[in-house]
């Protein structure tokens, strides 16, 4: 069964500190992995996307890594700010083969709270 | 502001009823996606339409249906509503029909079924 598991479920850190969020997936056939940031009550916004051959992708203070062998990804946030408080969602796409349109499998997200 | 609009913002209805949620994609985007987000399940992909045609299907119930009109706006119809259908419903759009292209999400419609 295609699944995406994220950890931790929630995290509290102090402003200025770094943190790392984890995403493990059992999705086949794999197409790509995307991290979204979702502020409370709002729609998700894409942070990074990585294909099978990419190990690292950065977007400002956000750096995502992908290990396709172990089927793990992480999102590292450096020098956290109060505005980083949000849910971070890992999404894995299955490949589009032979007429099948593929699918999107979402993790349940990690809720990050950055405190002053 | 993503450029994707959804109406209404909030909807309160009773079990057994039918509702319609509306979505207008970003200008120029041909694909529309629908998602359900409940507290315990996270975001779930329901369905994708591309240029008026159904393109991909996720975990959409048979009681739910969607369509995309010639002007590219989309509607999600939810019928025989149950308490468990209470959730945030998001619409997203993207430029092409490729499922994993960047999607831009609307502000969502919060549905409460009493």
Please give the radius of gyration of chain B, using alpha carbons only, rounded to the nearest integer: 13
Residues with Cβ within 8 Å of B27's Cβ and at least 6 positions away in sequence, in order, are B3
Distant-in-sequence contacts of A58-62, Cβ < 8 A, 24+ apart: A62/A35
Q: To the nearest whole angstrom, how far is the Cα of A59 from the nearest Cα of chain B? A: 14
Note the pLDDT of residue A1.
Answer: 80
CA-CA distance, A57 to A105, in Å (whole number)? Answer: 20
Pairing relationship of beta strands B31-38 and B42-50 according to DSSP bridges: antiparallel
Of the candidates A13, A11, A9, the residue with the CA atom closest to the CA atom of residue A116: A13
Chain A residues whose beta carbon lies within 8 Å of the beta carbon of residue B2: 43, 45
Q: Please give the residue of chain A at the shortest CA–CA distance from B100.
A: A93
What is the pLDDT at residue A33? 93
User: Which tens digit of pLDDT belongs to each residue from A11-70?
Assistant: 999 999 999 999 999 988 888 899 999 998 889 999 999 988 889 999 999 999 999 999
Interval B69-103: pLDDT, tens: 999 999 999 999 999 999 999 999 999 877 777 89
**Which pLDDT score, from 0 to 100, does residue B10 have?**
96
The two three-digit tokens of residue A57, written as one number: 């992708």
Pairing of strands A10-14, A110-115: parallel
Alpha-carbon span B38 to B85, nearest angstrom: 8
Pairwise CB contact (< 8 Å): A103 & B99: yes
Cα(A105)–Cα(B40) distance, integer angstroms:
15
CA atoms within 13 A on the CB side of A49: 13
């Amino acid at each position: 069964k295609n699944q995406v598991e994220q950890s931790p479920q929630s995290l509290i850190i102090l402003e200025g500190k770094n943190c790392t969020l984890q995403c493990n997936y059992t999705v086949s056939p794999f197409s790509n992995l995307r991290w979204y940031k979702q502020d409370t009550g709002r729609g998700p916004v894409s942070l990074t996307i990585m294909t099978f051959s990419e190990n690292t992708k950065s977007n400002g203070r956000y750096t995502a890594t992908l290990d396709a062998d172990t089927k793990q990804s992480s999102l590292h946030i450096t020098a956290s700010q109060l505005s980083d408080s949000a849910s971070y969602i890992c999404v894995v796409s299955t490949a589009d083969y032979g007429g099948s349109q593929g699918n999107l499998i979402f993790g349940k997200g990690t809720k990050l709270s950055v405190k002053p | 502001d993503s450029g994707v609009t959804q109406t209404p913002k909030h909807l309160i209805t009773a079990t057994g009823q039918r509702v319609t949620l509306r979505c207008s994609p970003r200008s120029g985007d041909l694909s529309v996606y629908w998602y359900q987000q409940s507290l315990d399940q996270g975001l779930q992909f329901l369905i994708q339409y591309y240029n008026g045609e159904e393109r991909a299907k996720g975990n959409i119930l048979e009681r739910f249906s969607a369509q995309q009109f010639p002007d590219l706006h989309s509607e999600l119809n939810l019928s025989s509503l149950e308490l468990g259908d209470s959730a945030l419903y998001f619409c997203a759009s993207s430029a092409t029909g490729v499922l994993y292209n960047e999607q831009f999400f609307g502000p969502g419609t919060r549905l409460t079924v009493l």
